[in-house]
Amino acid sequence: MNFAPNKSILTLLLSAIGLIALPHVYNIPISIFSFFYLLLSWRFIGVWKPGWLPNKLLVFLLMLLGIGLLYSQHQGLFGRDAGTRLFLIALGLKLMEIKGERDLYLVTYLAFIVAASQFLYEQSLLMGGYSLLVCCLLLATLVGINSRQPRPFAAMKTAGVLILQALPIAIALFILFPRIEAPRWMLFEDKTQARSGLSDSMEPGSISELSMSDELAFRVQFAGKLPSPAQRYWRGPVLTHTDGKLWTQTETRTFQPFMDKPKFSGTPYQYTLLMEPQNKNWVFALDMPAVFSAPLNQNSNYQLVSSANPNKRAEYKITSYPSYNTGFITRTEYKETTQLPAPPSAKIKQLVMQLHGFDNSPQQFISQLLNHFRREDFHYTLTPPRMEDNPIETFLFETRYGFCSHYATAFVYLMRVAHIPARIVTGYQGGDYNKVGNFLEIRQYTAHAWAEVWLENKGWVRVDPTAAIAAERIERGVNVAELMPGGLISFASTDENAQAAFSWLKQAGQLWRNVDYNWQRWVINYDNKNQAKFLSSLGIADMKTMVYWMIGAISLITAVLSTLLLRQKAKTNDQVLRVYQRFCKKLAKQGLSKGLSEGANDFAQRAKTQLPEQAYAIAEITDSFVNLRYSRMPTADDLKQFSKQVRSFKVRKHALKTATQTG
C-alpha cells in the first residue's frame, strides 16, 4: 500500500506512546523496557527516514528477540505482569508495521490498553491525571487521522473538548452503574510483587530496616478527639517462641470461648482505618480493639485479621479502648509465654537476681529492670552493631546500643527467666497528624516492638522498654532525618527560623496528602459495599431504582449536552453562512446573483462559467462552505481560514465584461 501518514499526527502518536510507557520503568524488567524504547526510537527516526525502517525479515527477527525477552522474564501465562509485558512488546513491534490507516487505529487502541494497565500498579491521583493526559493525546491522534487538514494543536483542543463533554456521563456511570466484583479465586495475583512491612518473625535489629522507609502503611480518621501520642500503639503480630535469636509466632487460634474475654473501661475511640495493599491479612488496630465487623476477626493474641483480599486497599470501622483487662491466663498461654530455648547463662541469672526478679513481685521487677535501662549506659540507635551470636547477652553486657526490637527481646527474655509470662508485640507506634484532613498517617518508619507481661488481676499489660531509654520516641515519634549513626540526636528541630521557612512546604504537603486520602477513600475504594452505602443514603436501595436513576441521569446529561451543542452548531453555522453571503454579495455587485432555489454548487458552476479565470478560487470557497456548513463542526481556525479566502477574493470587472460579451 502506498500510505504515507501525516508526519505531525504520527509524531503526536509516537510521543503519546512514549509518555504512556514511561511509568512502567518501575514495573517491568529493564531489558523489556529498553527493548520497547529502542523500537519506539527507531520508529521516530522512520518518520523522517522511511528507508531506515526494518524489512519483513528484520521485523521477524525482532519478534523472536521480543519473545526471547518475554521468556527470560517468564512470569506465567496470566496475571498483571505477564499481560503488561506482552502488550508492551506487541505495541513496540506493531510500530514497525504501520503500512495503512488501519494500522494507525490498531496501534492507538493497543496504546489505550497499555495506558489502562498503569492502574494495575498505581491508583494515585497523580497517575490518574497523567493517564488522562496521555489518553487525551491518543484521542487527538484519532481526531487528526479523521481530519481533512490534520493539525496537532487543533486536534488536541478537539480531544480535550470531547473528554470534557464525556466527563459528566462518566461520573454518572461511576456512581450509579452496579459494581460487580470478581470472586477472589478469579483474581490473578502476582506472587513476585514485593511490599515492605512487618514480618511474622523478628530478630533483634530487624525492624530498624523499616524505620528508614517512608512508605505508607495505613491512615486513620477518628470520629472524635485523637488519643495522645503515648496511646497510639497499633497492634500487629504477637511473637512468643524464640530460639535465642529469632522470635516467631506460635500457631494463632481463633478467639475461643474458654479464654477470658477482655473487659474494657475508660474512653472509647471510634475511627475509620484505611489499610494500604499488603502481603499479609493483618489489620493494625489501636490497642485494644473492642468493636469491629466482618470481614475482620480476632485471633487468640487479640490481633485483628481480615478475610478480604490483602492486596486491595480496604477500609474498616473499629472501636478501641486504651484501658482493658484481659483476665486470666490459660495453661497453653503460660507455657508459650515462659518458653526459653535453653537454660539461661550465669550472667543472665546474676542480673535477674541483682534486680530481685526471683524474690520480688513482677511489678517490682519490671520497675527495677526499666530503671536498670535508664541508669546504665544504654543507648537508642537505628544502626546498632551486629550481634551474630547470643544477641541478647551481647546487647545487655557489651554493646548496649540498640533499637526497639533489642530492648523488647531483652526485656521479654529476662521476664521469662524470672518465670513471668511475657511476649513481644510488633506493630506501629505514633503517626503523623494531618491538620488539613484531621487524620493520622502511619508509615513504615513508625514500625515498633514492645512487650506484654501477664500480671495477676490485670491480664496482659503493655510495657514499652524503649520509653525508658528514649521517651521522645513515644511522645513525638521518629524523624529519620534527625537520627544519626551515633544514636538518637533529636526528635524535633529547635531552629525556629528553619521551621518558619519550611512551614509553608509542610502545609502544602499536608494539603496534598489530604486530597490523596479522600481520592483513595471515595474514588479508588468505591466498591460495591461503599456504593450500596452511599446510594442508600440517597434513598436508592435496590437494583431497579439504581437502574432508573442511572437512565434518568444519563438522559438528563445527554439532553443538556445536546441542547448546548446544537445551539453552538447553529450559531457557528450562522457565522459560516454570513461569511458565504459576503462572497455572494461580491458576485452580485457584478451582476452574478444567486437564485433563491439555487444550490451552492450550482451557483458555483454558473459563476465559474462566467469567470473562468477565477474558477479555482470560486471552487475552493464553495467547497469550504459546503464542508463547514454540512460536513463537520468548524473550529475557530476553520472560520478564520474561510473568512480569509472570501476577503482575498476579488472580481475582475474586465473579466466579467469580457465573459458577458462573449456569452
Over the chain (663 residues), what is each successive 10-residue block's mean pLDDT? 68 91 89 92 89 89 90 72 88 88 89 89 88 91 77 84 90 86 54 62 71 84 92 94 90 62 93 91 94 91 90 91 93 92 93 92 94 90 79 90 90 96 94 91 91 94 89 56 41 56 76 87 83 86 87 91 73 76 86 85 89 88 85 75 88 53 44
Bridge-based pairing of strands 296-298 and 269-275 is unpaired
Q: Do the beta carbons of residue 653 and residue 608 sit within 8 Å? A: no
**358: nearest Cα among 422, 408, 420, 421:** 420
- Cα(463)–Cα(450) distance, rounded to whole angstroms? 7
**114: nearest Cα among 94, 137, 86:** 86
Q: Collapsing DSSP states into helix, strand and coil, what is residue 487?
A: strand
* Length of the chain, in residues: 663
* Strands (E) located in 456-537: 459-463, 483-484, 487-488
pTM for this one? 0.72
Q: Which class for 320: exposed (0-12), middle (13-18), buried (19 or more C-beta within 10 A)? A: buried
For residue 350, the one-letter residue type is Q
Q: Do the beta carbons of residue 584 and residue 606 sit within 8 Å? A: no
Residue spans of the domains in the chain: they are: 7-176, 201-246+258-488, 493-526, 546-662
Q: Collapsing DSSP states into helix, strand and coil, what is residue 447?
A: strand
- Cα(236)–Cα(202) distance, rounded to whole angstroms? 13
pLDDT at 652: 65
pLDDT at 578: 85
pLDDT at 481: 43
Q: Collapsing DSSP states into helix, strand and coil, what is residue 615?
A: helix
Distances from the Cα of 486 to the Cα of 131, 350, 372, 471, 482, angstroms: 45, 30, 21, 18, 11
Q: Collapsing DSSP states into helix, strand and coil, what is residue 27?
A: coil
What cell was used for 339? Answer: 518458653
DSSP secondary structure code for residue 249 in this structure: P
**DSSP string covering 95-147, please?**
HTT--SHHHHHHHHHHHHHHHHHGGGT---HHHHHHHHHHHHHHHHHHHHHT-
pLDDT at 492: 45
Q: Exposure string (b/e) for 34-51, b if CB count within 10 Å is 16 or more?
A: ebbeebbebbbebeeeee
As a three-state string, the secondary structure of 385-434 is CCCCCCHHHHHHHHHCEECHHHHHHHHHHHHHHCCCCEEEEEEEECCEEE
Give residue for cell 509466632.
249
Q: Which residues on adjacent β-strands are paired with residue 316?
A: 273
DSSP secondary structure code for residue 185 in this structure: G
- Cα(184)–Cα(206) distance, rounded to whole angstroms? 33
DSSP secondary structure code for residue 533 in this structure: H
Radius of gyration of the chain (CA): 36
Q: Which residues on adjacent β-strands are paired with residue 483?
A: 488
- Cα(467)–Cα(472) distance, rounded to whole angstroms? 8
For residue 364, the one-letter residue type is Q
Q: Do the beta carbons of residue 13 and residue 2 sit within 8 Å? A: no
pLDDT at 555: 92
For residue 635, the one-letter residue type is T
- Cα(631)–Cα(662) distance, rounded to whole angstroms? 37
Q: Do the beta carbons of residue 180 and residue 532 sit within 8 Å? A: no
Give the DSSP H/E element, type plus range, for residue 285. Answer: strand 285-286
Q: Do the beta carbons of residue 42 and residue 13 sit within 8 Å? A: no
Q: Which residues on adjacent β-strands are paired with residue 298?
A: 304
pLDDT at 541: 84
In this structure, the number of other CB atoms found within 10 A of the CB of residue 323 comes to 12
